[in-house]
Amino acid sequence: MKKDIETRLIHSFFDRSKHHGSLAAPIYQTSTFVFDSAEQGEARFAGEEEGYVYSRLGNPTVRELEQKLADLEEGEEGIAFASGMGAVSAILMHLLKSGDHVLVSEGVYGCTYGFLELMQDKFKVDYDLFDMQTADAIEKMIRPESRVLYVETPINPTMKLVDLEMVIQTAEKHNLKVVVDNTFCSPYLQQPLTLGADFVVHSATKYISGHGDVIAGAAVGPSEDMQKIRMSVQKDVGAVLGPFDAWLLLRGLKTLSVRMDRHCENARFIFEKLKQHPKVNHIIYPGDPEFSGYKLAEKQMKDFGGLISFEIAGGKAKAQKFMNALEVVQRAVSLGDAESLIQHPASMTHAVVPAEERKKMGITDALVRLSVGLENKQDIWADIEAALHSTYEFS
């Protein structure tokens, strides 16, 4: 019987007997691999003999991570990348060519949007960003040259959810490949491949690492595609992950389920407290029964995640004053770390989005986004409450 994800997160794929019984995965900190003979080198290059050649083409520590990620996402094969954007761009470059069209859920990660722009300007790959709430809305946007449906759910910072089952069914009808950015959930909370998605991408920088000490990415999908990516886009563009960074992710992954459970528990607590505070408006949290995406979150996520967005009465000036008064919660972009992190989307992650567009997306100047960390939940709340108090004290 297949073991539970909580167990699979911890156990390794490598053969300990070949590594002195080492409990943790060894770090193969090497750029290249020595051949026993010239003939062996020839055979490896010809693909006639299994074995490593050069770390841009594969490395045992990185391979261990890739196998684990594929296993966790219930996919055939995984590839690790130097960053989340390395993974996103590799999958899109693999699936799209000049003249193709891609459908993209509204509000995707800023640099994903940037990469789509680049593909459009330089390579004539067209895209449409829109609200994927219904099959009808999607079908209206499909063109004969559409190839890929790219989804992020929940989306940052408005937490809007997209119904993965509906999107996948619609895509299947029209022969489109579905790519899901699963960064916000991690494989512990959501497994799009089990619902029929073709590819999953991750910024492993976030929950997968969980410790704020590495930039990394990952993609999981069918072996045939992943082999092609390995031997083309990844090899020739080169966003490869280093062995030590892979090892940090292997270390982080061991505690993913424990961390996610705590992130979710702490976020639930902070949400309840925020809800009662008179100076906090419009809280956006997938676990709020009044939130538009609540039912969907219940259906496709194991729990509601560790992210909460909310508005501070008084707009940007008050939001900044509030952020500056925080001591436990750190002012930083990124998410999914042990430390609680807060950012101001309108002036930080979404500053490049035109103000009009931001407003339409629901990103006001009063909005802050909190990644609830693993600290004691009472301490996190005490920090937020004190900062709110000092923000309004003299007004």
Ligand X SMILES: *Cc1c(COP(=O)(O)O)cnc(C)c1O
Binding site for ligand X (CB under 6 A): 83-85, 109, 111, 152, 156, 181, 183-184, 203, 205-206, 215, 217
Closest separation in Å from C-beta 202 to ligand X: 8
Q: Closer CB to ligand X, residue 87 or residue 171?
A: 87
CB 243 within 8 A of CB 28: yes
Closest separation in Å from C-beta 110 to ligand X: 9
Closest separation in Å from C-beta 237 to ligand X: 14
Residue 290 CB-density burial (10 A; 0-12 exposed, 13-18 middle, 19+ buried): exposed
Closest separation in Å from C-beta 84 to ligand X: 2
Q: Closer CB to ligand X, residue 370 or residue 387?
A: 370
Closest separation in Å from C-beta 372 to ligand X: 15
Q: Closer CB to ligand X, residue 332 or residue 386?
A: 332
Q: For residues 384 and 327, give the distance between their C-alpha atoms in angstroms, rounded to a whole number.
A: 9
Q: Closer CB to ligand X, residue 44 or residue 181?
A: 181
Closest separation in Å from C-beta 341 to ligand X: 12
Dihedral pair phi/psi, residue 40, rounded to 5°: -65, -40
Q: Closer CB to ligand X, residue 370 or residue 388?
A: 370
Q: Closer CB to ligand X, residue 182 or residue 266?
A: 182
Closest residue to ligand X using C-beta atoms: 84
Closest separation in Å from C-beta 343 to ligand X: 11
Q: Closer CB to ligand X, residue 58 or residue 336?
A: 336
HEC readout, the chain: CCCCHHHHCCCCCCCHHHHCCCCCCCCCCCCECCCCCHHHHHHHHCCCCCCCCECCCCCHHHHHHHHHHHHHCCCCEEEEECCHHHHHHHHHHHHCCCCCEEEEECCCCHHHHHHHHHHHHHHCCEEEEECCCCHHHHHHHCCCCEEEEEEECCCCCCCCCCCHHHHHHHHHHCCCEEEEECCCCHHHHCCHHHHCCCEEEEECCCCCCCCCCCCCEEEEECHHHHHHHHHHHHHHHCCCCCHHHHHHHHHHHCCHHHHHHHHHHHHHHHHHHHHCCCCEEEEECCCCCCCCCHHHHHHHCCCCCCEEEEEECCHHHHHHHHHHCCCCCEECCCCCCCCCEEECCCCCCCCCCCHHHHHHHCCCCCEEEEECCCCCHHHHHHHHHHHHHHHHCCC
Residue with tokens 């004691």: 376
CA torsion angle 371 152 163 193 (round to 10): -100
Residue with tokens 């995707």: 108
CB 302 within 8 A of CB 190: yes
Q: Closer CB to ligand X, residue 203 or residue 266?
A: 203
Closest separation in Å from C-beta 215 to ligand X: 5
Closest separation in Å from C-beta 367 to ligand X: 17
Closest separation in Å from C-beta 128 to ligand X: 19
Closest separation in Å from C-beta 87 to ligand X: 8
Q: Closer CB to ligand X, residue 349 or residue 391?
A: 349
Q: Closer CB to ligand X, residue 146 or residue 156?
A: 156
Q: Closer CB to ligand X, residue 55 or residue 183?
A: 183
Asked whether the bond before 157 is cis by omega within 30 degrees of 0, the reply is yes
